[in-house]
A and B are shown apart, each in its own frame.
Chain A
Amino acid sequence: MAYTDSLNNVSPASQAVTIYTLKETMKTAGYTVQGSGDGLAAHSAVGDIITSAGSGANGLNNPNAWFVIRQGSGGSGEFAGTREWLFQRDSASPGNAYTWKCQYSSPNTTFDQSTGTATVSPTGVDPSLVQNFNDGAGFTAILPTSTTYTFQIRVGDSAENFHWYCISYPNGGGAVSSRIAFVPMCDDSISLSDEDPFILTASNVDLTATNLINSAASDIFGWQGLSAIPNAVEQYAQLSAFVLQNANGETVFPDSSGPNPENNQSDGLSIYWGRRSNLSEHGFKGASDKVKWTGTSRSTGDTYDSLNFIVFDDTVWEWDGATVPSV
């Protein structure tokens, strides 16, 4: 198991610093930049020319600056591959450093770097398989509009099935103010024929259950049934988290299960994802044990199990077991 981390980033100079730090952390974890443009004149169709988080030449904080980064090598089965993510800063001038376009290549295509320039991000080799994972077709606010926030980045390698996240919250604590994440489903919860057992998001919406269960506004995306099996659904869709309720109409997970009756420790429970049968592209996506529901209500930034888990709103994420988070 190996994560590469950039933790306790407080009050960045601009929101572009967050995306830049994510890129650098991904590179350290073995992910590779496939192409980039600084929104001015610099461009590479093979690598990374973004060398600073600021504005100006080779900076990420310029209108239309962009990069495409590919998952690390290795991995097993359906988790391995050449998935790529594109991040492009707001096209307006000067625009907003909190506004980005975020696209995902899926496992079955890549971005065509021959179509990119210094100011234009590339399209997909198969454009139909490239999808946005921010809430909208173009540029949307995915980071807090104020820079008085703290962000935490963890990027997993093949041993972590390429799980990564960048999550922020206001300095001093409070509800999550942005989340950019790529989350693998548990191997034992998915079909062996599912070619893309991941969900992803880039949004400035928080991680409370109220939002995550909303199939129209969860801002959680994923492929439903991307598979070689004939008649599989093969649609990219917005997914819901499922909370757990008893028959008395009470939600138990998240927040209301209480401590484990055996050891009095906090319980977290894997989150199950999918779309209800009344919706198009319905069905079960999978379960994530790298992101769980809280069993007991806790504040964002709380840790438990010897710093191995951190709470973000109603969810629990893997932490490094060592670092006390800034809150």
Chain B
Amino acid sequence: MAYFDDLNNVSPVSQAVAIYDLKEAMKSAGYTVQGSGDGLAAHSAVGDIITQSGSGANGMDNSNAWFTIRQDAGGTAPFSGTREWTFQRGTQSYSWACEYSGPDTTFDQSTGNATTRPTGVVPGDIRAFTPAAGFNTIFPTSLNFTYQIRVGNDAENFHWYLIGYPNGGGNTNCHLFFLPMDADTITATEDEPFVLSANSGTLLFSAIGNKTSGNVFGWQGKNGTVNAYALISAYAFVSGDGTCSPSNLGTSPVELKDNHLPIFWGRINTSTQPGFKGGSSRVKWKGSPRVTGDLAESSTLIAFDDTVWLWDGATTPSV
């Protein structure tokens, strides 16, 4: 198991610093930049010319600055591959275009330049993982926030996240993540067992469980029956007494520890592209009420709103 972390980033000088830190953490984890442009004059169709998080030459914090980064080599099918993500800054540092190549194509670096992000080799497979196509507000507009970055390599099935919340605590106010489904929850022929998201919303069930506005995306049956990119909903566990998970399951009757259940994802049958996506045990529902930044299980889990995410087992988060 290997995550590469950049934790406890408090009050960045711009939101572009967060994206720059994500890029650097990804590179440390073995991900490789495939192309980049600084929004001014610098451009590379083969690598990374973004060398600093500020504005100016080779900076991330210029309008239209962009980079494409690819998952690290290795891993096992269907998690392995050459999936790529492109991030491009808009006119504001909190506004970004975030696009994903999927498993079957890559970004065509010959179509990019210093100010233009590339299109896809198969353009139809390139999809936004922001609420709408193009530039979206995916960060808080205030810089008064703290963010946490963890990037898993192939041993972690390429799970990564960048999650922010107000300094001092409170509900999350941005999340960018790429989340693998558990291998035992997907079909043998699944090509794309991931969901992903980039937006300034919360990680409350009421948000990520909403079938029309959850802003978590994924391919439903990539190359299979449905073969469509769609909004994916998180499902809560509910008994006749009400919602049990998240938040209302209480402690385990055996060890008296919090019960955290995996999150299952999919689309109800009354939607287009219906069906079950998979289950994630790297991100779970919290079992008991906890505030963002609370740790559980010897600091191996951290709470963000209604969810708990893998933590490093050591670091006390700034809240």
A282 with B273: CB separation less than 8 A: no
A272/B261 contact (C-beta < 8 A), A194-B254, A252-B268, A258-B269 known: yes
A191/B189 contact (C-beta < 8 A), A261-B273, A278-B241 known: no
B residues 195-231 near A (Cβ < 8 Å) are 205-212, 214, 220-222, 224-226, 228
Q: Give Cα distance in the complex from A227 to B251, angstroms.
A: 15
7 A-B pairs besides A225-B253, A261-B221, A284-B259 with CB distance below 8 A are A232-B254, A242-B239, A243-B238, A262-B190, A272-B261, A274-B249, A275-B239
CB B240 to nearest CB in A, in angstroms, measures 4
Stretch at the interface among A11-19, A97-105, A124-132, A263-271: A263-271
Residue A51 at the chain B interface, CB threshold 8 Å: no
> Chain A residues with Cβ under 8 A from B224's Cβ?
261-264
A232/B225 contact (C-beta < 8 A), A253-B235, A258-B269, A258-B274 known: no
Number of interface residues of A (CB under 8 A): 55
CB A265 to nearest CB in B, in angstroms, measures 8
CB A297 to nearest CB in B, in angstroms, measures 9
Closest to A242 in B: B237
> Chain B residues with Cβ under 8 A from A248's Cβ?
209-212
> Chain B residues with Cβ under 8 A from A278's Cβ?
241-242, 248
Residue B287 at the chain A interface, CB threshold 8 Å: yes
> Chain A residues with Cβ under 8 A from B268's Cβ?
246, 250, 252, 256-258
A and B contact pairs by CB, cutoff 8 A, 29 listed? A213-B239, A215-B239, A225-B253, A243-B239, A247-B209, A247-B214, A248-B212, A256-B269, A257-B268, A258-B267, A258-B269, A261-B220, A261-B224, A261-B226, A262-B221, A262-B222, A262-B225, A262-B275, A264-B224, A264-B225, A272-B261, A276-B239, A276-B248, A276-B249, A277-B248, A277-B288, A282-B253, A284-B259, A295-B275
CB B58 to nearest CB in A, in angstroms, measures 43
Residue in A231, A258, A284 whose CB lies within 8 Å of B249: A284
CB A65 to nearest CB in B, in angstroms, measures 36
CB A240 to nearest CB in B, in angstroms, measures 4
Q: Give Cα distance in the complex from A321 to B222, angstroms.
A: 29
CB A236 to nearest CB in B, in angstroms, measures 11
Residue A299 at the chain B interface, CB threshold 8 Å: no
B253 with A283: CB separation less than 8 A: yes
CB B241 to nearest CB in A, in angstroms, measures 4
B248 with A246: CB separation less than 8 A: no
B253 with A232: CB separation less than 8 A: yes
Q: Which 4 A-B pairs have the closest CB atoms?
A: A247-B209, A225-B253, A261-B221, A258-B269
A260/B206 contact (C-beta < 8 A), A240-B239, A246-B235, A284-B287 known: no
Residue in B226, B245, B256, B287 whose CB lies within 8 Å of A242: B245
> Chain B residues with Cβ under 8 A from A281's Cβ?
253
A267/B252 contact (C-beta < 8 A), A252-B235, A261-B226, A278-B241 known: no
Number of interface residues of B (CB under 8 A): 57
Residue B7 at the chain A interface, CB threshold 8 Å: no
Residue A259 at the chain B interface, CB threshold 8 Å: yes
A284 with B261: CB separation less than 8 A: yes
Residue B81 at the chain A interface, CB threshold 8 Å: no
> Chain A residues with Cβ under 8 A from B222's Cβ?
262
Residue A233 at the chain B interface, CB threshold 8 Å: yes
> Chain B residues with Cβ under 8 A from A256's Cβ?
268-270
Q: Give Cα distance in the complex from A257 to B235, angstroms.
A: 11
Residue B4 at the chain A interface, CB threshold 8 Å: no
Q: Give Cα distance in the complex from A240 to B249, angstroms.
A: 12
Residue in A231, A269, A282, A296 whose CB lies within 8 Å of B264: A269
User: Which of A227, A240, A277 has most B Cβ within 10 Å?
Assistant: A277
A191 with B252: CB separation less than 8 A: yes
Closest to A244 in B: B235
Residue A44 at the chain B interface, CB threshold 8 Å: no
